[in-house]
Amino acid sequence: MNSSTAKRQHAPLSALAAANITWDGGFWGDQLERTRTVTVPSMWNSLSDPAVSPGWRNFLIAAGDAQGRHQGPPFLDGDFYKWLEAAISLLETTPDPELAEEINQIAAKIASVQREDGYLHTPTRIAERNSETAQALADRFNFETYNLGHLITAGVRHHRVTGSTVLLDAAERAAGFLEDLATNHTDQLARSAICPSHYMAVIELYRETGNERYLRLAESFVTVRDDFEGGDDNQDRVRVRDQKVAAGHAVRANYLYAGLADIVAETGDDELATVLDRLWKDVVDTKLYITGGCGALYDGASPDGNPMQSDISRVHQAYGRAFQLPNTTAHNESCANIGMIFWSERMLALTGDAAYADVIERIAYNSLLASISLDGTRYFYTNPLRQVRGLPFDLRMPGDTAQRPIPTPPPSDARLRAEYMSCFCCPPNIARTLAQFHERAMSTSDDGLWVHLYGSAQVQVEVDGRGIGLQETSAQPWGENVDFTVTSVADGGLPLKLRIPGWSEGSTIAVNGEQVAVGAPGTYATLDRPWQVGDTISLVLPMPVRMVRGHRLAEEISNQVAVTRGPVVYCVESQDLPDGVRMEQVALRRGTTFTPVERDVEGRPMVVLECEAVILPQVQEQGLYAEVDDAELRTAPVRLIPYFAWGNRGPSEMSVWLPLAW
């Protein structure tokens, strides 16, 4: 049964699988092709080369095929599983016998390392093989449950795509180990349930096997968490159902809430659904960057964790307080932004509310794509909205810390993406998200076919005997037109529900050339009629350039504006400034005219924006404060590029937010 017809018990919408939708060129087709031909292969080259990464060698040592000790962070197993999941997903969209055989060999090797009780953690397994003392779950920051969760997810995907049970059997054994912890060692499980990928994982295992045991296991995770006295950094200071705002580590929060949404989809827990809706709105209304970035702070204190100063806990990579959105020091870990996609797509499936698709789109075109270079080989761990020269401190950001000798990483004011980094959690997460992105484009329900994100695709779906085939053509995110042609019909076809993005005013829809009613932005327009082969649907989504301001409480962006066109956020990069102009001099006036122009950035075609910007007087950096210069303002032509394209032309300054010159 494919995912277009596999119903979640309490989630009306079911995402399409590769059997139902394939990218057919266009923007997302190009992203998938880059992922297939460049990103996943180059990542394997890094992970399998001991001179670069110990990722694969750790498994070989644990299996007895090589000698040595474990190297790298304790969560590297989980990151390797994420790469494996990305590679498996590519088999679903483009069959590749050579890649399939390589994946099968990797899967067999991983399974051979697993203990009989289902535990698999290469640091411990290597220590055991070397006759050294090793204890499972000795330290919560060994990330064993995170690793096991990603093993289970990869095992499910491997079975779903190839039919092989090798990795699925390993996934079930891993779930058995977690089940024993949930029954007999609850404190160990609760203490180790950090960055909780295992919630989503065991629900996927339940969906793949139909074994209710795994659904009960997911529910037990919540019970165990609620009985544990932890802190805000891992969202376990208060019971899940008592949480009112998102706090602490943003990756852990988003993974947890995505997993809880999976539980709601299978149990119909209305109380838990209400909690998740409240938390999601807290993030979107007060803590989400305009680029979709999540987790503003590198470090902080749990703001409301305890009235006693001595008992306030440290938090890091954290959401922070409402409207606390710094730019230069924005953390926005790539995994947190992806976690927000996971959470939002599950909420979309539960509700059919277009607001969730709006956020997925915002992240996808901005913070997600900014986290990978245009050529598909290098990655950001953090995603700031401003990059400046001469920063008097180094920002903590993993650079290219491969095993081989390398030059000293560049300072924070020369931020560049890295091909490999010591904390390698983000790159394979980016790869698997892009490899599976077709699953976020459309869904089916009893109400018909829902189109969430637009691109060029071929679609074939059937629900309860009614079916429809579509050829979709779109130049999004650059062009306004989305065109569908009906290519097949079964029993009259299916109603179509086309998302009208929240950013689009004045959208129009024509069926066979005749205009039909369109709802308000942020809703779905329903087209319900007997379809015939050859019918056409033309959707036009106007994409005016907008200058956007921030909330009055977001003080870091007070009296500044950002520029957007459709779903794309733009920025100014220093390479595009006139000679002699510094980033801090660039400002915009109200009513500025922006001209969209097609240009290449590092060989990638995209739409840039050209305008006449205000150039402020240069400030002499003689002290913390200086008198305002009363020199007359001048103007100069400035180009803005999509935020996701910044940092591909060498070290630069960059800013999304620009001063507003009245």
Tokens for 618, please give them. Answer: 């240069």
DSSP string for residues in 603-639 = TEEEEEEEEEEEEPPPPP-SSS--PPP-PPPEEEEEE
Which are the contacts of 65, defined by CB distance < 8 A and separation ≥ 6? 109
Question: Do 554 and 523 belong together in one domain?
Answer: no
Question: Do 533 and 557 belong together in one domain?
Answer: no
pLDDT of residue 474: 97
Determine the Cα–Cα distance for residues 319 and 5; give it in Å rounded to an integer.
37
pLDDT of residue 232: 85
3-state helix, strand, coil in the chain (%, to 5): 40, 20, 40
pLDDT of residue 507: 97
Nearest CA among 171, 136, 177 for reference residue 155: 171
Amino acid letter, residue 309: Q
DSSP state of 410: P
Question: Do 511 and 460 belong together in one domain?
Answer: yes
pLDDT of residue 230: 87
Within a domain: 294: no
**Per-residue exposure over 498-526, b if at least 16 CB sit within 10 Å of its own CB, e if not:** bbbbbbbeebebebeeeeeebeebbbbbe
**pLDDT, averaged in runs of 10, over the chain (662 residues):** 55 97 97 98 98 97 97 96 98 96 98 97 96 90 96 98 98 98 95 95 98 98 93 90 94 98 98 98 98 93 67 82 95 97 98 98 98 98 95 70 44 80 95 98 97 98 96 97 98 97 96 95 97 98 97 97 98 96 96 97 96 91 83 94 97 96 85
Alpha-carbon dihedral 628, 630, 631, 636, rounded to 10 degrees: 60
Number of residues in the chain: 662
Within a domain: 82: no
SS3 266: helix
Question: Do 517 and 582 belong together in one domain?
Answer: no
Question: Do 529 and 632 belong together in one domain?
Answer: no
Domain C-terminal end among 509, 540, 571: 540
Question: Do 460 and 511 belong together in one domain?
Answer: yes
pLDDT of residue 439: 97
Question: Do 523 and 562 belong together in one domain?
Answer: no
pLDDT of residue 5: 36
Question: Do 536 and 446 belong together in one domain?
Answer: yes
Determine the Cα–Cα distance for residues 616 and 583; give it in Å rounded to an integer.
10
Which are the contacts of 658, defined by CB distance < 8 A and separation ≥ 6? 560, 561, 562, 563, 572, 586, 587, 588, 613
Question: Do 609 and 623 belong together in one domain?
Answer: yes
Domain C-terminal end among 540, 569, 587: 540
Our count of domains for the chain comes to: 2
Within a domain: 490: yes
Question: Do 450 and 534 belong together in one domain?
Answer: yes
Which are the contacts of 71, defined by CB distance < 8 A and separation ≥ 6? 54, 57, 58, 403
| pTM for the structure as a whole | 0.96
Domain C-terminal end among 514, 540, 566: 540
DSSP string for residues in 314-378 = EEEEE--STT---STT----HHHHHHHHHHHHHHHHHH--HHHHHHHHHHIIIIIHHTB-TTSS-
SS3 254: helix
Q: Which domain holds residue 627?
A: 545-659
Q: Tokens 């270079």 belong to which residue?
A: 373
Within a domain: 218: no
Within a domain: 360: no
Within a domain: 641: yes
What CATH number has the domain bearing residue 490?
2.60.420
Question: Do 448 and 473 belong together in one domain?
Answer: yes
Question: Do 504 and 553 belong together in one domain?
Answer: no
Within a domain: 64: no
Within a domain: 645: yes
Largest interatomic CA distance in the chain: 76
